[in-house]
């Protein structure tokens, strides 16, 4: 009996670990997964996942919980979602990781920051925080923030932010291993909350994958 309990306990924990750590390739992710909600949380009326619908070759359509947003996702990229954290932070987000990365992941994030989220007080705050470094600078030897541009995305008003930064991989130790990051954001104001589409890659990989980002961004539809 004891043996059975021990084995089950270890197994169940490993299963939880696997779910928490993970994701699936966008092509493999079931349309209705994940459906479970963290204990004490109200389940989403409509859980997120891959959905039937038109998508260009090599892409699948993804819809977030409660249809907060939907967009095309590249089928051969790794789709990650941390539903528990999404609900904790009131930020509903998918992360798409490219097949090829360097020292940091090449990734696209599509997120809906609900009005209840307290990470940023609104889209202006997000733009403010992301258009300069913590010292309020837009340019120094290792960082360059482009001026914020007004643009249109999916027929909506949007703001485009671009930056390049040298980032160290071990900020708490003396190892100076670093990578030159290039990033691009689209920030979309909404009636409730706001949306962010974010592409990050090592500078060397940015050109190769930026077209994928633009396709994802171009296919974006928001509920609000």
* Binding site residues, other proteins, CB under 8 A: 2-3, 6-7, 9-10, 13-14, 16-17, 20-21, 82, 85, 88-89, 91, 93, 95, 104-105, 109, 118-121, 124-137, 140-143, 147-150, 159, 165, 167-176
The whole-angstrom separation of Cα 94 and Cα 104 is 17
**Is 61 or 182 the residue whose CB approaches other proteins more closely?**
182
**Is 196 or 216 the residue whose CB approaches other proteins more closely?**
196
Minimum gap (Å) between residue 31 Cβ and other proteins? 24
The whole-angstrom separation of Cα 200 and Cα 48 is 23
CA 49 to chain centre: 14
Minimum gap (Å) between residue 135 Cβ and other proteins? 5
Minimum gap (Å) between residue 144 Cβ and other proteins? 13
**Is 72 or 93 the residue whose CB approaches other proteins more closely?**
93
**Is 61 or 165 the residue whose CB approaches other proteins more closely?**
165
Sheet of strand 59-63: strand arrangement: 49-51, 59-63, 69-74, 221-222
The whole-angstrom separation of Cα 152 and Cα 185 is 13
**Is 46 or 142 the residue whose CB approaches other proteins more closely?**
142
Minimum gap (Å) between residue 75 Cβ and other proteins? 22
Among 188, 44, 26, 20, smallest CA distance to 112 is for 188
Minimum gap (Å) between residue 199 Cβ and other proteins? 13
Instruction: Provide the greatest CA pair distance for the chain.
Output: 66
The whole-angstrom separation of Cα 221 and Cα 100 is 27
Range list of H helices, 29-139: 83-89, 123-130
Minimum gap (Å) between residue 29 Cβ and other proteins? 19
Instruction: Please give the DSSP secondary-structure letter assigned to residue 139.
Output: B
**Is 59 or 77 the residue whose CB approaches other proteins more closely?**
77
133 token code pair: 């470094």
């Amino acid at each position: 009996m004891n043996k059975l309990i021990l084995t089950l306990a270890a197994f169940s924990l490993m299963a939880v670990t696997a779910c928490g750590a993970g994701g699936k390739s966008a092509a493999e992710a079931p349309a209705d997964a994940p459906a479970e909600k963290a204990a004490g949380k109200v389940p989403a009326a409509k859980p997120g996942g891959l959905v039937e619908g038109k998508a260009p070759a090599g892409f699948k359509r993804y819809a977030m919980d409660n249809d907060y947003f939907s967009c095309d996702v590249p089928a051969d990229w790794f789709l990650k979602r941390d539903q528990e954290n999404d609900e904790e932070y009131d930020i509903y987000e998918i992360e798409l990781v490219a097949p090829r990365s360097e020292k940091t992941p090449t990734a696209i994030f599509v997120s809906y920051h609900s009005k209840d989220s307290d990470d940023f007080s609104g889209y202006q705050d997000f733009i403010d925080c992301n258009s300069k470094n913590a010292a309020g600078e837009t340019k120094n030897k290792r960082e360059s923030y482009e001026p914020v541009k007004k643009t249109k995305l999916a027929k909506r008003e949007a703001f485009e932010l671009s930056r390049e930064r040298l980032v160290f991989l071990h900020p708490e130790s003396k190892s100076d291993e670093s990578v030159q990051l290039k990033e691009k954001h689209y920030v979309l104001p909404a009636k409730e909350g706001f949306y962010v589409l974010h592409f990050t890659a090592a500078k060397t990989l940015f050109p190769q994958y930026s077209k994928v980002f633009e396709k994802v961004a171009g296919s974006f539809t928001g509920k609000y």
